[in-house]
Chains A and B, each alone.
Chain A
Amino acid sequence: MELDRESILKLFKTMATIRHFEERGIPETGQRGMSASVHSSAGQEAVATGVCANLTNEDYIGSTHRGHGHCIAKGVDPKLMMAELFGRATGPNKGKGGSMHISDMSKGMLGTNGVVGASIPLAVGAALTSKVKKLGRVAVAFFGDGASNQGVLHESMNLASVWKLPVIFCCENNGYAMSTPSEYALSTAHVADRAQGYDMPGITVDGMDVFAVYDAAAQAVARARAGDGPSLIECQTYRFYGHTVFDNPLTYRSKEEEDHWRARDPLKLFREAVLPQGDITAAELDQIEADAEALMEEAVKFADESPLPEPVELYDDVYVNYPRELLKRGVNMAV
């Protein structure tokens, strides 16, 4: 780990921003009657943060249904994201996507995705673009332990290996696919074991330790940029809440287990790792957290004050060029 002071503080700032976005944004979204399907990534901040700290604006990521953290770590503006969650016209997707489809092509963010595993080949394709056009960019496919059992992951890992594409497969193993434990659903002890089958390095790291994730991703990104092909990183992490806001996780996991992982909160582990070195003070970190909290206040205000989309916008962007009349021909629309 060769991070300067500023970069170290930035890791904390990203994690704090994600945490406060989840803690504030999700209940606020619910209070506005929007979205049944919002998935909190609180607890998993170190993964998105540690991986994306190795990426530039030009690099690509494909994300999951639990993707707010990936968006923030890749540089998407939390204020715009909040607007998207609230269904406002100022969201990056103009209110057409919501939590599970947030994208920002200007940041190489190829979308959170509502189908488990579906974004994986998109990242592979972005890596192919980089290789064919010699752009020197890398792509990261984020997915969970649930998606690690999807055929499309295995096909994609094989394809990326055969074509030596600059892609990193990053598994966030948070222990549960909805309520199904990964130890039940996985045939191998670790998701990373599966890398062997596709002739790529596979590593399991502590996904609560942002520095461990950062180091593993740095190696994988270097390998990809050097043209040596894909890697698989499994980050062992934990979601502090249920699958969505609607399930009670204590129906399928124990309080003791939750307490164990809460004690390994990535923001807490960061403090424990950094403060004893004396270079960074608790006051600085407190200030970063306070700033993140204030940013969410601002984001909620921005989103609330943003206009809703016009109903007729529902016809826009189905295609690049398409007569609106043909989209509603013969279906007796009101707008």
Chain B
Amino acid sequence: MTITNQTAGQLAGMHATGTREIQVREAINECLRQEMELDENVIIMGEEIAGGAGRQDQGVEDAWGGPFRTTVGLIQQFGKERVLDTPLSEAAFIGAAIGASSTGLRAVAELMFVDFIGVCMDQLVNNAAKMRYMFGGQVKVPFTMMTRIGAGFGAAAQHSESYYSIFSHFPGLKGVVPSDAYTAKGLLAAAIRDDDPVVYFEHKGLYGSVGPVPEEPYVLPLGKARTVREGTDITLVGISKMTWVCTAAAEELAKEGISCEVIDLLSVSPIDYDHINESVLKTHRLVVVDEDTPICSMASEICSRVAEEVFDYLDAPPSRVTAPHTPVPYSRAMENEYMPNESRVKTTVRNLMNR
């Protein structure tokens, strides 16, 4: 489920020296460390960012780097001024990160799970997304919100959702959905260095995924999708972890003589419509595989754009494989059915090919 070393090098347009295999969580951690080394204005804050470091008597040595260990070691290197554990006050610290970013810092704030967005949505939507516009261009808000998506862990409905499409709805915000270690590092660097607010979505099911990552800092472009498998019969667009559901299904379908092109969306705002259209011009068919619920989703957005823009080239209706219009269930018996899987993708593709 990883892309090849060669592809990684090609995509970045860079030499492959100093590239080694690391996990997504390590790639994120390395990126944060490098960006903080490169720019002293970069700070990071959130719940359990250091973990335990807020207690004077414990000192910084006890820091554990949070539940997914993506921020481990940062406080030891950069200190409490730049690596800030926060009280459980998302509205205040997300808002403060936005205020800090609009006054000269480049703040990264972590919302532990995207399901918690309700408690701080106002700051993101009414301040971060709109300040530059409302202020007539007077301010830049180079703010990054890191957050987590993804079901499949028996974590039930308040720790498992994949709410990225709602952020794409807001002008002024950007959003990225890395799918492996290489894109995790390159897109996080891009998010931090970008002068607009960017939401960075980490899939909980990808942290352990190992792939080739250059040691040196690098930036992948925001708003660009990539093709991870070439094909001629149908285009599959995957989002985050769903990219690998698409490639697995494509592998199987190839045995039946169906050639799938797989696109890894990587960015949910801006959306790389041109990349998708170009593929559909070749394949004439489209399936978007999205772990989010279907209504007003990334999948429905992409399908509607393709229908509007390249309608004459389509041989089948643009289609979706998504979660159903339900919250994420707890029991594995139900959760396994909830998530898009290879089987559903294969069935959908076969149906479209047989029309």
Residues of A within 8 A of B (CB): 60, 62, 91-97, 101, 103-106, 110-111, 113-115, 118-126, 128-133, 151-152, 155-156, 158-159, 162-163, 316-322, 326-327, 329-330
Residues of A within 8 A of B147 (CB): none
A151 proximity list for chain B (CB < 8 A): 91
Across the interface, do A152 and B92 meet the contact criterion of CB distance under 8 Å?
yes
Q: What separation, in Å, do the CA atoms of A110 and B101 have in the docked complex? A: 12
Which of these binds chain A: B81-89, B161-169, B181-189? B81-89
Q: Is the CB of A126 within 8 A of B122?
A: no
CB–CB B95/A110 < 8 A = no
Q: How far is the CB of B250 from chain A (nearest CB, A)?
A: 29
Known pairs A94-B137, A155-B93, A319-B172 / 14 extra A-B pairs, C-beta < 8 Å: A92-B136, A96-B133, A103-B134, A103-B139, A119-B127, A125-B95, A128-B99, A129-B100, A131-B81, A155-B91, A156-B89, A158-B92, A162-B87, A322-B196
How many of B's residues come within 8 Å of A, CB to CB? 51
Select from chain A the residue with minimum beta-carbon distance to B96: A125
Question: In the complex, what's the smallest C-beta–C-beta distance from A329 to chain B, in angstroms?
Answer: 7
Given A125-B95, A125-B100, A151-B91, A97:B105 Cβ within 8 A: no
The reply to whether the CB of B215 lies closer than 8 angstroms to some CB of chain A is no
Q: Is the CB of B135 within 8 A of A97?
A: yes
Q: How far is the CB of A145 from chain B (nearest CB, A)?
A: 19
What is the bound-complex CA distance between A62 and B97, given in angstroms?
14
| Distance in angstroms between the alpha carbons of A93 and B132 in the assembled complex | 9
Instruction: Name the one of B54, B101, B137, B309 contacting A125, with C-beta atoms under 8 angstroms.
Output: B101
| Contact between chains at A163 and B84 (CB < 8 Å) | yes
Report B's interface with A, CB cutoff 8 A. Answer: 41, 43, 54, 81-82, 84, 86-87, 89-105, 107, 122-123, 126-127, 131-140, 171-172, 174, 194-196, 270, 273, 305, 308-309
Alpha-carbon distance A129/B81, docked complex (angstroms): 10
| Contact status of A62 and B99, CB under 8 A, knowing A111-B131, A132-B43, A317-B133 | yes
Known A118-B122, A122-B99: A320·B135 in contact at CB below 8 Å: no
Asked if A121 and B96 make an inter-chain contact with CB atoms under 8 angstroms apart, the answer reads: yes
**Chain B hits for A115, CB < 8 A:** 122, 126
**Are B305 and A330 in contact (CB-based, < 8 A)?**
yes
Q: When chains A and B are docked, how far (Å) is the Cα of A113 from the Cα of B131?
A: 10
Chain B residues, Cβ within 8 Å of A133:
41, 104-105
A304, B139: Cα distance in complex, Å: 26
| A-B pairs with beta carbons under 8 Å apart, 19 shown | A94-B137, A101-B134, A105-B138, A105-B139, A110-B103, A115-B122, A121-B94, A129-B104, A132-B43, A132-B105, A151-B91, A155-B90, A159-B96, A317-B133, A319-B174, A319-B196, A320-B196, A327-B171, A330-B309
* Of B81, B305, B308, the contact of A132 (CB 8 Å cutoff): B81
Q: Which of B96, B122, B135, B194 has most chain A Cβ within 10 Å?
A: B96
With both chains docked as a complex, state the minimum distance between the C-beta of A305 and any C-beta of chain B, in angstroms. Answer: 19
Question: What is the distance, in angstroms, from B346's C-beta to the closest C-beta of chain A?
Answer: 31
Of B41, B92, B137, chain A has the most CB atoms within 10 Å of the CB of B92
With A122-B98, A152-B95 known as contacts, the answer to whether A93 contacts B138 (CB < 8 A) is: yes
Residue in contact with A158 in the complex, picked from B89, B99, B135, CB distance below 8 Å = B89
Given A129-B105, A320-B140, A156 and B96 contact (CB-CB distance below 8 Å):
yes
With contact pairs A125-B100, A132-B82, A319-B172 given, residues A329 and B273 touching in the complex (Cβ less than 8 Å): yes
Bound: A95/B127 CA distance, A: 18
B92 contacts A319, C-beta separation under 8 Å: no
Q: In the complex, what distance in Å separates the CA atom of A133 from the CA atom of B41?
A: 8
- The answer for the CA separation of A126 and B99 in the assembled complex, in Å, is 5
Closest to B126 in A: A115
Interface centre among B54, B132, B136, B308 (most CB of A within 10 A): B136
Q: Given the complex of chains A and B, what is the CA–CA distance between A62 and B132 in angstroms?
A: 15
**Minimum distance in angstroms from A4 CB to a CB of chain B:** 31
Chain A, Cβ-Cβ closest to B92: A155
Contact partners of B309 in chain A: CB under 8 A: 330
Q: A91–B136 contact, CB under 8 A?
A: yes
Known: A129-B103, A158-B87, A159-B89. A124 touches B139 (CB 8 A): no
Chain B residues with CB below 8 A from A126, complex form = 99-100, 102-103
B81, B91, B102, B132 — most chain A CB neighbours (10 Å):
B91
Residue of B nearest to A314 (CB): B133
A152 and B98 CA atoms in complex are apart in Å by 14
Q: Are A121 and B174 in contact (CB under 8 A)?
A: no
Minimum distance in angstroms from A278 CB to a CB of chain B: 44
Q: Are B87 and A156 in contact (CB under 8 A)?
A: no
B contact residues around A101 at 8 Å (CB) = 134-135
Contact A95 B136 (CB under 8 A): yes
